[in-house]
Amino acid sequence: MGAAELIKTNVDVRDDQGLVNSSVNHVTGHSPEVLTAIYQEQINLVVMQRSLSAEVRRYCQEFVESKPNFNLRSVINPEFSKQALVDQLPDLEGRSAFTEDLAYLLEMYACLFDLDEVGLRLQVLDRAMCPRFHTDKLGCRLVTTYIGQGTEWLNNTDLDRTKLGAGNMGLSDEESGLYSSAANVQQVDQGDIVLLKGDGWYGNEGLGAVHRSPAVALGDKRVVVTMDFA
């Protein structure tokens, strides 16, 4: 399915009786259509599972080696995204495959939310950018990891939101009572596309997806892309 064909379908989360299950706040699937579930009121996190091609992975590895501190922030018109990306990314073997993939994500994100421009950030990281569990104060962010561990998140039913931010009383996420067990911490895989509905989404104040960046081992790197409403 092409990104331009993505439409706002009604992907319901229902129980065995066909009723909407309001306790479920996330949806996972393998096709782009699953991303439309973000429009459901009770859903604040959607994961589109996918595998990266060997060519894309090789480019990202060479990219890390040649640009270990790369940090790109740009506002991109999806209609011209391929050329814009080519102009800003290192000329290494596989760049065409990587820009094709990233342009596809830009087009899909823009189509899903009817955007003329997308705020793009592409970073090489050697540490957790947001190591504490938190919510974003924006509409809906897309996150995908090309190299390294994927985003960690908590289900609504597994957390105490009063322990977010200042509510942790100076304690770590593990000690504050935010969640009861390490088994509560979910994690997406490398390459997966994640939509994180924030507190800024209409009607979603105080209910944003709770997530954090994974720890990065000494000497390791992550290549992370985020997209926001420009």
Tokens representing 184 are: 């509560």
Residue 216's region, left for phi above 0, alpha for psi from -120 to 50, else beta, is beta
Exposed, middle or buried, 169 (CB in 10 Å: 0-12/13-18/19+)? exposed
Per-residue burial over 148-158, b if 16 or more Cβ lie within 10 Å, else e, is: bbbbbbbbbeb
Query: Of residues 6 and 52, which shows the higher confidence score?
Result: 52
In terms of DSSP bridges, do strands 152-154 and 210-212 run parallel, antiparallel, or are they unpaired? antiparallel
pLDDT at 222 over 70: yes
With cut-offs at 50, 70 and 90, classify the pLDDT of residue 152.
very high
Q: Express each pLDDT in 71-126 by its tens digit.
A: 999 999 998 999 999 999 999 999 999 999 999 999 999 999 999 999 999 999 99
For residue 223, list its beta bridge partners.
Answer: 124, 147
Q: Express each pLDDT in 114-146 by its tens digit.
A: 999 999 999 999 988 889 999 999 999 999 999
All structural domains of the chain with their residue ranges: 3-229
In terms of DSSP bridges, do strands 118-125 and 222-229 run parallel, antiparallel, or are they unpaired? antiparallel
pTM of the model: 0.90
User: 156 vs 40, 42, 160, CA distance in Å?
Assistant: 15, 10, 8
Looking at every residue in the chain, the average pLDDT score rounds to 90
Q: Fold for domain 3-229?
A: Jelly Rolls (2.60.120)
